[in-house]
Chain A
């Protein structure tokens, strides 16, 4: 299994500012994933972050808006840039532990943009 810590757990931000969300895993993992869960909707994959390479973004998400860092095998950050109220969501970090076919999730960051 894997234990994932996300910070902050929630935040209220002014439009036009940026927020960086941190994700720390208690074991080394190759791939880390960032999801968005908008109110009343399902989880949507934003990007996949591999250590030592640029993140791979899903359709509809761009690096300028959601820059991601992956400096080592246990840590990643997601920045939500130039925020607008439409960015109000829960952002979730996830990892897959090799051999388990199971995704483990952090507790999420509940972001409100005002």
Chain B
């Protein structure tokens, strides 16, 4: 079994300030890790993912996340947020095996960027 914990349900931050959205997971097997973003009235979009290799992964819009196996974390960071980053962010995990594996989602963190 696996689980994902996002401790912060809401994170307000001023524009151009840095932000960190926290994600911790538990699993008895190796995992793939994901961050999805959901803009208002839209579906989920993949922001970034960790499958293997470098523990630091980046998205095209300036977000990055670091896989920390010892702390079972996959926190999402951005050094300077924009108004357009206002959205809900979901951390997710799946077993790292071939073929489809069930994805487990966290409860989400609403990022509110304040002008």
Contact = CB atoms under 8 A, between A and B. Distances in A.
Interface of A: 4, 6, 31, 40-43, 45, 92, 96, 101-108, 110
Residue with the greatest number of chain A CB neighbours at <10 A, chosen from B4, B44, B94, B106: B44
28 contacts: A4-B43, A6-B43, A40-B9, A42-B90, A42-B105, A42-B106, A43-B44, A43-B90, A45-B103, A92-B43, A92-B44, A96-B100, A101-B32, A101-B49, A101-B51, A102-B34, A102-B46, A102-B49, A103-B34, A103-B103, A104-B46, A105-B36, A105-B44, A107-B41, A107-B42, A107-B43, A108-B43, A110-B41
Contacts of B100: 31, 96
Interface residues of B, number: 22
Given A42-B107, A102-B46, A103-B103, 20 more contacts: A6-B43, A40-B107, A42-B4, A42-B90, A42-B105, A43-B90, A45-B102, A45-B103, A92-B44, A96-B100, A101-B32, A101-B49, A101-B51, A102-B34, A103-B44, A103-B46, A104-B46, A105-B43, A107-B41, A108-B43
